[in-house]
Structure 1
Amino acid sequence: MRSLLSRLAEATVVIKAAVVSDYRVAQKGARIVVGFAAKTGEVVQRAHHKLMAKQLDLIVANDVS
């Protein structure tokens, strides 16, 4: 994660997955931040909650049930 954070200022798009998504980007700036949500049951609602809670621009919701 340190490596990612050290190069964050250079990024235009940040795509996060799995455990990497368990932190919040401190300085988002003009970046587009994409998260992933592997969910079972109420996939759309749960993915939307994650989108809002992590202050993401986009989320990819995957129904793994």
Structure 2
Amino acid sequence: MWRALRAVPAQGFVSQPEPRSIGLYARGRQLVAGNFQFAGQLVEAPGAVIWDIRLDDPALAYETQGFV
């Protein structure tokens, strides 16, 4: 234990950590195009941000906040 206390603390990573997942290309294209799918329903809002879409169904609003 004493040897660990005298050691110089690490200044950074030896190598960059890899991402756990890079995502799906097709899903990313859909999001950029403004096609969002919540609770099995397709919501088309070209040019809109996901947070600006008005959702009347509480299940849809829950999925946008919970990323379920």
Q: Give me the TM-score of the superposition, normalised by structure 1.
A: 0.22
**Higher RCO (Cα < 8 Å, 6 or more apart):** 1
The structure having more radius of gyration, on CA atoms, is 2
Greater strand percent: which structure?
1
TM-score norm. by structure 2 comes to 0.21
